[in-house]
Structure 1
Amino acid sequence: MGWARGLYSAALHLLSPLIWRRVRHEHALTDSRGGAGESPRTLRLGRIPETPPGERMLWLHCASVGEVLAARPLIEALLARYPAHRLTLTTMTATGAERARALAAARDDARLISRFIPLDFPAAAARFVSRLRPELALLFETELWPNLMAACRRRGVPVAVVNGRLSPRAFRGYRRLRPLMREALACVDWLAAKSSADAERFEWLGMARERTAVVGSLKFDIATDDTVIGVSQRLRTRLGERPVWVAGSTHEGEETRLLAAHARLRESYSKPCPEALLVLVPRHPQRFDAVAALCARAGMRVARRSRGEWPTGECAVYLGDTMGDLLALYGAADLAFVGGSLVPIGGHNLLEPAALGVPVLTGPELANFAEVAETLLAADALVEVADEAALAAALAELLGDPAERHRLGEAGRAVVAANRGALERTLEGLARLLPPK
């Protein structure tokens, strides 16, 4: 073990009381156990069933909900291209695990397995890899766990980073850990970067240029299946002619601004049609109740999707407090605002509504999706607003202009279609690392 990873591992052990407190808290908030009778400690120490001898296993790790959704086309493609393999999908967060299990249940396919990734203690990492015995480890975006990567290297498991990205903010943090990152990246056999800027940041941290390729963003290969479209159409039909906008993946401090924009919109919206409806979808399920209370304090009547309530004409807000429905809710809207962008989070996936042909609005905080935002802006397929007042004005203008909404929606759809292909390029690179089918 190199000195940097040794110090890192020692720090993890010193911080373990705080780490375990956070793990227990998250599991309690989400009521996500991950397995009958299994405690968080068992789940997070790599104590998984051993892969039976002769069974071929792939392993893909995603951080949380957004990454699982973005990785779905890759998951489907891997299961289709490697029918002799099973695929273990791991997540770090309990909400991510819920989404992974929902994906596995929707497929009704025993070949897709959902598990928690172990905490990156050396023994837990070694135990997990030795029991899973994957033929290939895939780490999605920025999920660089030094002890897990080292455990793969010791057992001869090829490691690939797919959809690799390093935002400027993340890069500044990793720069302070450059010796540790150099040691971790030495375990990576192939890195598929989203952009040349991401590739350069990885290379500065120690990733070998000859093992790096710029393939584009997998997010452009977003899947919009008929089931999602069907749910969207039924929702839109039931909502009728009232103007509807969705605010998806919202965060604390952001909902207050969105509700203020909605209040302005409802006051200024003067066309002879029902009042505007905001479909509000918080990013984290543990905040659903708090956001419902926030709507009530703002004087807005709210219907909650989780309770089967329907937004009648007097309802101002429809709270999307269920998991896995955001795409369908986007598809039922006239306009979509993507959250994490009016507060310093860095934004979320602008391509989800764009792929459905729904006009996209965003705030100015877009560090995590800078390249995607630039591509959409260059095609005049994105409306960026500075604050809630500008958002209310943009909403009112667009809701009164069906032709411009149609143009924006089609422009966004065209951007997604024109930039597809990262999935195929990623699969071609991975084929060089996998043994024969």
Structure 2
Amino acid sequence: MKHCVKKRQVPLGLKVYRTLSSLLYYASSPVIKGLSKVGDEEDLWRQRFFLNRSFGNEIYDCWLHAVSVGEVAVCEVLVDSLLRIRPDLKLLVSSTTPQGLIRLRTRLSEKCSLMVFPLDFPQVISRLLSQIKTTVYGGIETELWPNLILGLKEKGTNCILLNGRLSEKSFKAYKRLGGIFRPVLNSFSKICVINETYKDRFEKIGASHQSLIVTGNAKYEGLITKPDLNRKKIIKDRLGLGQKELVFCAGSIRGGEEEPIIDAGARAKKEHPHLVCFIVPRHLDRIPCVLKVLEKRGIGFDLWSQLELGKKRSHDWIVVDVIGPLYDLYGIADCAFVGGSLVPKGGQNLMEPASWGCPVIFGPSTSNFEEAASILQREGGGITVRDSNELFEVINRLLKDPVLRQNIGKKARESLLSISKGAASFQVEIILEELDKANKAK
């Protein structure tokens, strides 16, 4: 008598996703293949289709994926910790955005193999997995790509979600698409989440209770020792910033924030003639908009790119038109505004200025950094503003009172120390446990 083996049923939602992603591949493939015949070998889109790229059947201990600059910062901390404990590990790191890839090449190219993250088409993933094998895969924050994760799982890879977070908006979206993402979540052997709120959200969208671990936020642990006082002195000397100059830095500003921030800075400048203002857009394509606002208001400015080439600073407004300097500029600031928060973008990393002991100012939109915003407000290291008028009032109050600045800055730094709690070290332990477990099972 023949026994029938019952095949595990694929949820309808996942079937639809796979079919649509496969059809989309065929629709877009001719365009991308055309690109592969011209241009630079490093063309981003050709690499995302995994065309004209051979890894020669490489085998890695661990592949870490960081979608953009913020996640790359987490990746740097994890890589450094992993290699400090086990220097012989063979690591692969990927990113999606141009900014993330630039930072990867700058910070990690000598420590790891680097790769552009592939598009989640079945055909692309099949090409990728025929050339790359990894014992452990770690996606950072909310990287839930069904074809990739399920493909890795089928190949015997131990998948981990690191520094997991799920905003209220994302939670609602994933909950509606449970048929697609529940099997993906159940393919992770461990899901390391930042806090209990995120743990609850992940469980409600289908993650198993056993796989969920609250580890804290690894993004912040690396900031504790990151400030470089020598680098700070070099920048101040190069820009001619002495004891009389005060500095305001507006970092990671997004579209719609240029006018309110510049207007608040201009008002503060009238009250404090020696104030120097740095405007740092999140994306370089916003530079023309920033310059237009300054020119419209008759404000003279220097471009950071020209100052880097040796041009002497001739204005008290500096527009940063390159990627990279923001963190060090927070270090020379007497107070800092973190953008993406006056407009509904969810904010940026509030703990970067806090790591320098700099008072942190931000708008009401901080869904991407809920825990950081909460502890900064609770401990008195951060101040929320709703508009340009409130931003001016806070800047003015801080610049007038050095003791107040120092106290708030100290509390900001203490908030960082409180929120970190060895999160990166904890997640590194989990990565190594999964690696050892997989190696023993071979």
Q: TM-score, normalised by structure 2?
A: 0.88
- Structure 1 residue identity aligned to 2:299: M
| Alpha-carbon separation, structure 2, partners of 1:17 and 1:93 | 23
2:427 aligned partner:
426
SS in 2 for 1:239: coil
2:254 aligned partner:
251
TM-superposed CA distance for 1:157, in Å, is 0.4
Question: Given the alignment, which residue of 54, 57, 68 partners 1:49?
Answer: 54
Identity of paired residues, percent? Answer: 30
Query: 1:66-81 to 2 correspondence within 5 Å?
Result: 66-81=70-85
Residues 1:323 and 1:104: Cα distance change in structure 2 (over 3 Å): same
Query: 1:140-219 to 2 correspondence within 5 Å?
Result: 140-219=140-219
TM-superposed CA distance for 1:127, in Å, is 2.1
Aligned residue-pair number: 420
TM-superposed CA distance for 1:256, in Å, is 1.4
| Alpha-carbon separation, structure 1, partners of 2:397 and 2:336 | 14
Unpaired runs of 5+ in structure 2? 1-9
2:298 aligned partner:
299
Question: Do 2:356 and 2:413's aligned partners in 1 also have CA atoms closer than 8 Å?
Answer: yes
Query: 1:38-437 to 2 correspondence within 5 Å?
Result: 38-47=42-51, 48-50=53-55, 55-105=59-109, 109=110, 111-223=111-223, 228-237=228-237, 238-240=240-242, 241-269=244-272, 274-308=273-307, 315-420=315-420, 421-435=422-436
SS in 1 for 2:188: coil
When Rg is computed on C-alpha atoms for both structures, the one with the higher figure is 2
| Alpha-carbon separation, structure 2, partners of 1:257 and 1:155 | 52
1:30 aligned partner:
none
Question: Do 1:259 and 1:298's aligned partners in 2 also have CA atoms closer than 8 Å?
Answer: no
Higher mean C-alpha displacement, 417-426 vs 372-381: 417-426
SS in 1 for 2:93: strand
Residues 1:233 and 1:21: Cα distance change in structure 2 (over 3 Å): farther
TM-superposed CA distance for 1:91, in Å, is 1.1
TM-superposed CA distance for 1:231, in Å, is 2.1
Question: Do 2:191 and 2:211's aligned partners in 1 also have CA atoms closer than 8 Å?
Answer: yes
TM-superposed CA distance for 1:228, in Å, is 4.1
TM-superposed CA distance for 1:332, in Å, is 1.1
| Alpha-carbon separation, structure 1, partners of 2:278 and 2:352 | 16
TM-superposed CA distance for 1:268, in Å, is 3.2
Question: Given the alignment, which residue of 13, 31, 34 partners 1:4?
Answer: 13
Deviations 1:401-428 (A, max 9, x none): 1001111111111122233211121122
| Alpha-carbon separation, structure 2, partners of 1:18 and 1:307 | 44
Deviations 1:70-128 (A, max 9, x none): 332112112222322222211111221111111125xxx2x312211110001211222
2:7 aligned partner:
none
- Structure 2 residue identity aligned to 1:239: L
Question: Do 2:302 and 2:314's aligned partners in 1 also have CA atoms closer than 8 Å?
Answer: no
Residues 1:303 and 1:128: Cα distance change in structure 2 (over 3 Å): same
Deviations 1:149-186 (A, max 9, x none): 01111100010000000010111111221111101112
Deviations 1:187-234 (A, max 9, x none): 111000001110111111111110110111112202365784322222
Question: Do 1:228 and 1:327's aligned partners in 2 also have CA atoms closer than 8 Å?
Answer: no
- Structure 1 residue identity aligned to 2:261: L
Deviations 1:335-375 (A, max 9, x none): 11110000000111111111111111111111111111111
Q: TM-score, normalised by structure 1?
A: 0.89
Task: Output the aligned Cα RMSD.
Answer: 2.7
